[in-house]
């Protein structure tokens, strides 16, 4: 099952709270973010985006889904404030983290956690006592053996976590990696949601003429410096509008097929 098909008609809000991370994974999907200087989103200027997005989604009678990531969102000193506002304005709140943001005090705000894992981490499994909706995100690279990947999948699945596989976004051997993910998905068909790199089927007007490989869904992306765009990789211009209400609506229309 491919989650890009499951979520193809959703319009999300993606908030990248910082470009800073306490790890340096060579396969990081957010390597398009500049790492220096370190940036942290200012909540006093950008919290209203959550209100505007939630209000717009209610107006079109669709679920509002906001995802906080980075960099590593657990490094933001005011993560609690962002999550509290998201909980108030949006239907579903997600956090993508390397594990640093897994804090019980945030569970009252967060519906689900997506945790990037590169090894067996008991702290991630222990967090199940606070939240039952945790997905282990595993990037399949050229370095790991199939045996080590199977062991990692078994480790988190037996503990009760959902599993999501990605291919290494920056590898020049995509076809080989896709075959590996296919093999693993066939072996563990009952426990894995997979997402491959490649053009998304939900690409709208904003993606016309773009040939860049992409793993993104339809969304308004808000970056650590507070700028925003319908594209996370700088392939279209940044928005510069007077209000978040206007920005959200324009980003939504940019993703429509016609």
Helical (H) or strand (E) element with 10: none
**pLDDT above 50 for 58:** yes
* Band of residue 258 on the pLDDT scale cut at 50, 70, 90: low
- Looking at per-residue pLDDT, the higher value among 169 and 249 belongs to 249
Domain count along the chain: 1
Taking 80 as the threshold, does the pLDDT of residue 248 lie above it? Answer: yes
Average pLDDT over residues 236-243: 85
Cβ neighbors of 154 (< 8 A, separation 6 or more) are none
Which range is most confident: 32-36, 120-124, 187-191? 120-124
Task: Grade residue 1 by pLDDT with cuts at 50, 70 and 90.
Answer: very low
Report pLDDT for 62: 96
The CATH number assigned to the domain holding 34 equals: 3.20.20.70
The confidence score (pLDDT) of residue 171 equals 81
Percent of the chain at pLDDT > 90 equals 56
Segment 226-234 mean pLDDT? 87
Whether the pLDDT of residue 31 is over 70: the answer is no
Q: Report the residue count for the chain.
A: 258
pLDDT digits 0-9 by tens, 94-144: 999 999 999 999 999 999 999 999 999 999 999 999 999 999 999 888 888
Model confidence, pTM: 0.92
Find out whether 56 and 249 touch, Cβ atoms under 8 Å. Answer: yes
Average per-residue pLDDT for the chain: 87
Does residue 146 have a pLDDT over 60?
yes
Nearest to 177 by CA among 27, 24, 13, 42: 27
pLDDT tens, residue by residue, 61-77: 999 999 999 999 999 99
Tokens matching residue 14? 């993606």
- Taking a C-beta distance cutoff of 8 angstroms, is the pair 73, 101 a contact? yes
Residue 132: alpha-carbon gap to chain centroid: 19
Q: Is the pLDDT of residue 213 over 80?
A: no
pLDDT at 166 over 80: yes
Average pLDDT over residues 14-30: 86
Query: In this predicted structure, which of 98-112, 125-139, 149-163, 214-228 has the lowest mean pLDDT?
Result: 214-228
The answer to whether residues 139 and 148 touch, using CB atoms and an 8 Å cutoff, is no
Displacement of CA 3 from its chain's centroid (Å):
12
Q: What is the span of the domain harbouring residue 188?
A: 3-254
């Amino acid at each position: 099952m491919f989650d890009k098909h499951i979520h193809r008609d959703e319009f999300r809000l993606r908030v990248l709270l910082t470009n800073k991370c306490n790890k340096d994974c060579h396969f990081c999907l957010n390597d398009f973010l500049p790492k220096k200087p370190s940036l942290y989103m200012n909540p006093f200027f950008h919290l209203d985006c959550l209100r505007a997005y939630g209000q717009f989604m209610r107006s079109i009678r669709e679920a509002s889904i906001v995802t906080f990531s980075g960099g590593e969102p657990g490094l933001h000193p005011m993560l609690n404030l962002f999550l509290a506002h998201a909980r108030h304005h949006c239907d579903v709140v997600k956090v993508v983290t390397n594990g640093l943001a897994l804090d019980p005090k945030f569970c009252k705000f967060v519906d689900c956690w997506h945790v990037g894992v590169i090894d067996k981490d008991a702290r991630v499994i222990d967090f199940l006592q606070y939240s039952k909706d945790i997905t282990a995100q595993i990037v399949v690279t050229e370095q790991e053996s199939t045996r080590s990947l199977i062991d990692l999948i078994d480790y988190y699945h037996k503990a009760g976590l959902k599993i999501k596989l990605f291919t290494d976004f920056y590898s020049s051997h995509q076809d080989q990696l896709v075959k590996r993910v296919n093999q693993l998905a066939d072996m563990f068909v009952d426990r894995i949601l997979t997402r491959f790199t490649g053009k998304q089927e939900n690409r709208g007007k904003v993606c016309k003429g773009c040939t860049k490989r992409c793993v993104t869904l339809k969304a308004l992306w808000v970056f650590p410096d507070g700028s925003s765009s319908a594209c996370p990789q700088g392939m279209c211009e940044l928005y510069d509008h007077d209000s978040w209400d206007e920005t959200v609506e324009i980003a939504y229309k940019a993703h429509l097929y016609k």
